[in-house]
C-alpha cells in the first residue's frame, strides 16, 4: 500500500501544471496549450521588451522560451504561474522629446544636439529629461540621450526636469546668464 501511495505521489508531482501567459497583445491571459505527447509543459512565458529610447519591441507574446528568430534584446522570458500571467501587456503613454548633449573639447562646454530625441514611456509614468549640470566633467554622458531621470546622484553632475524638451539650451541659458552676471559683479 505504501508503494502505491509513493508511486501516485511521484506521478502527481511529475505532471507539470499548465501555466497562464499572454499569448497575443491586447487580449486576456489564457492557459498555455497542453504540450505534445512526450514534450515537457512550458514553465516560462515570453514577451516584448521596453526601453525609453526604443519603446516596445516588435516581439510577440507566448508560452515557453523566446522564439529563436527574435532579435537580440527584443524578447524577455519570465517564470510562469497557473493563476496569473507574468508577461502582461506593455501599455505605453504618449511619447515626449528631450535633448542630448555632447562635450565639445575645443570649447570646453557641453553642446546641445540640434534635434530632440523621441522618448518613450510606460503608462502611468511621468515625463523626465536630464542634462549635464554645473559639476559635469568631460567624461559625463547623458543618461539615455537625455531621456528619463538622472542616474548620476553626485550633486550638480546631472540636472533633471519633468516636461517635454525641458532640457533645452534655453533652460541652460536661463541658468547661465544670471550666473555670468553674478560672476561679473564679483570680479
pLDDT at 70 (0 to 100) = 80
Q: What is the pLDDT of residue 140?
A: 92
pLDDT on residue 152: 87
DSSP state of 27: S
Instruction: Collapse the DSSP code of 48 into the 3-class scheme (helix H, G, I; strand E, B; otherwise coil) and give the result.
Output: strand
- Grid cell of 111 as nine digits: 553642446
Confidence (pLDDT) at 171: 43
pLDDT at 178: 52
DSSP 103-169: EETTTTEEEE-SSPEEE--BTT----EEEE-TT--TT---GGGGBSS----STTTEEEE-STTTTSH
If we measure between CA atoms, which residue out of 115, 92, 95, 96 comes closest to residue 166?
96
CA distances from 179 to 56, 81, 173, 184, 185 (A): 41, 57, 10, 9, 10
Q: What is the pLDDT along the chain (187 residues), one digit of tens a residue?
A: 455 454 444 444 445 578 999 988 667 888 998 888 888 899 999 999 999 999 999 989 999 999 988 888 899 999 999 999 999 889 999 999 999 999 999 998 999 999 999 999 999 999 999 999 999 999 999 999 999 999 988 899 999 999 999 998 654 444 444 555 556 666 6
Amino acid at each position: 500500500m505504501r508503494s502505491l501511495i509513493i508511486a501516485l505521489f511521484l506521478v502527481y508531482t511529475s505532471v507539470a501544471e499548465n501555466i497562464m501567459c499572454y499569448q497575443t497583445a491586447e487580449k486576456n491571459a489564457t492557459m498555455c496549450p497542453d504540450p505534445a505527447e512526450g514534450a515537457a509543459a512550458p514553465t516560462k512565458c515570453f514577451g516584448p521588451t521596453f526601453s525609453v529610447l526604443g519603446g516596445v519591441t516588435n516581439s510577440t507574446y507566448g508560452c515557453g522560451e523566446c522564439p529563436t528568430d527574435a532579435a537580440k534584446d527584443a524578447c524577455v522570458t519570465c517564470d510562469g504561474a497557473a493563476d496569473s500571467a507574468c508577461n502582461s501587456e506593455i501599455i505605453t503613454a504618449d511619447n515626449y522629446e528631450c535633448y542630448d548633449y555632447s562635450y565639445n573639447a575645443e570649447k570646453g562646454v557641453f553642446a546641445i544636439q540640434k534635434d530632440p530625441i523621441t522618448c518613450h514611456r510606460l503608462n502611468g509614468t511621468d515625463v523626465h529629461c536630464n542634462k549635464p549640470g554645473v559639476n559635469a566633467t568631460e567624461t559625463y554622458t547623458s543618461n539615455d540621450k537625455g531621456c528619463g531621470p538622472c542616474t548620476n546622484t553626485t550633486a550638480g553632475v546631472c540636472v533633471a526636469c519633468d516636461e517635454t524638451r525641458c532640457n533645452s539650451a534655453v533652460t541652460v541659458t536661463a541658468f547661465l546668464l544670471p550666473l555670468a552676471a553674478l560672476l561679473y559683479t564679483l570680479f
